[in-house]
Amino acid sequence: MTVFIGKAATGAILGALAMTAAGQAQAADTLRLLTWADYAPKDVIDAFTKETGITVEVTLSNNEEMISKLRATGGAGFDLAQPSQDRILGPQQDFHIYKPLDLSKVMVAEFKPSMLEATKKNTTVAGKVYGLPEIWGTDGLVVNSKLAPQVKNYSDLCTDAVAGKVSYRLKRPTLIAFAFASGADPFAAYGDAKAYQALMEKVGATLAACKKDVKFYWDGKDALLNGIRAGEVVAAMAWDTGGWKLNSENPDIKFVAPKSGALGWVDTFAIPAKGRNDAAAYKWINFNLRPDIAAKVAASAGNFTASQGAEDKMDPKLKAQFAASFPDADFKNIKWYPAVPAGLEAIEGKVLDRLQASN
Structure confidence at residue 314 (pLDDT): 87
Tally of CA atoms within 13 A in the half-sphere of 118 that contains its CB: 20
Helix residue ranges per DSSP H, 29-88? 42-52, 63-73
Neighbours of 40 (CB within 10 A): 22
* pLDDT per position as a tens digit, 43-66: 999 999 999 999 999 999 999 999
* β-strands 132-144, 214-217 pairing: unpaired
Q: Rounded to whole angstroms, how far apart are CA atoms 274 and 122? A: 22
Q: Rounded to whole angstroms, how far apart are CA atoms 54 and 176? A: 40
Instruction: Considering the domain delimited by 28-136+265-323, tell me its CATH architecture.
Output: 3-Layer(aba) Sandwich (3.40)
* β-strands 263-269, 132-144 pairing: antiparallel
Q: Rounded to whole angstroms, how far apart are CA atoms 240 and 258? A: 12
User: Cα angle vertex 287, ends 283, 292, to 5°?
Assistant: 175
143 bridge partner residues:
235, 254
Structure confidence at residue 27 (pLDDT): 59
Structure confidence at residue 5 (pLDDT): 46
User: Are the C-beta atoms of 110 and 295 separated by less than 8 Å?
Assistant: no
Give whole-number Cα distances, 191 to 121, 224, 328, in Å. Answer: 17, 34, 30
Domain with CATH 3.40.190.10 in the chain: 28-136+265-323, 138-264+326-357
Structure confidence at residue 28 (pLDDT): 67
Q: Rounded to whole angstroms, how far apart are CA atoms 115 and 142? A: 26
Structure confidence at residue 21 (pLDDT): 40
Structural Rg of the chain based on CA atoms:
23
CATH of domain 138-264+326-357: 3.40.190.10
Residues of the chain with pLDDT under 50: 1-5, 7-10, 12-25
* pLDDT per position as a tens digit, 112-160: 998 999 999 999 999 999 999 999 999 999 999 999 999 999 999 999 9
